[in-house]
């Protein structure tokens, strides 16, 4: 005769706690959850507008500068006009840099938000 083997299942869940966590508030769509999400979205919007403003202030002003200062369009660096160099080549690394900065700061905002929600759960 074989020895009996006791089979057990996974540990049972604890009784639900009475306090509501930040993630539950968000998932349930409560007023507090809405405020959490609005704060994250507001911060992400501010970041996007700052990056867009920086892009407009640097790249967007170049055509205006070449239009308002006609002699600037005649400046050459070697065989290449300055306008081609600025608008055709240097703009793209600058946009990549701004995109990289946006992603880094956006992820930091999300980490800060997750930390805030976790602190509420404690």
Residues 62-93: tens digit of each pLDDT: 888 888 988 888 889 888 888 888 888 899 99
The maximal CA–CA distance of the chain, rounded, in angstroms, is 102
Task: Check residue 21 and give its pLDDT.
Answer: 61
Q: Which residues pair with 76 in a beta bridge?
A: 81
Give 120's contacts (C-beta < 8 A, 6+ positions apart). Answer: 21, 22, 25
């Amino acid at each position: 005769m074989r020895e009996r083997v006791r089979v057990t299942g996974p540990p049972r869940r604890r009784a639900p706690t009475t306090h509501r966590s930040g993630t539950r508030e968000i998932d349930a769509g409560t007023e507090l959850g809405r405020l959490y999400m609005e704060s994250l979205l507001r911060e992400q919007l501010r970041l996007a507008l700052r990056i867009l403003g920086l892009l407009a202030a640097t790249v967007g002003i170049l055509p205006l500068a070449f239009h308002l200062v006609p002699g600037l369009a005649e400046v050459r660096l070697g065989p290449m006009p300055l306008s081609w160099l600025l608008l055709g080549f240097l703009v793209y690394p600058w946009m990549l840099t701004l995109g990289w900065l946006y992603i880094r700061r956006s992820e930091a905002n999300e980490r800060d938000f997750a930390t805030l929600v976790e602190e509420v759960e404690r």
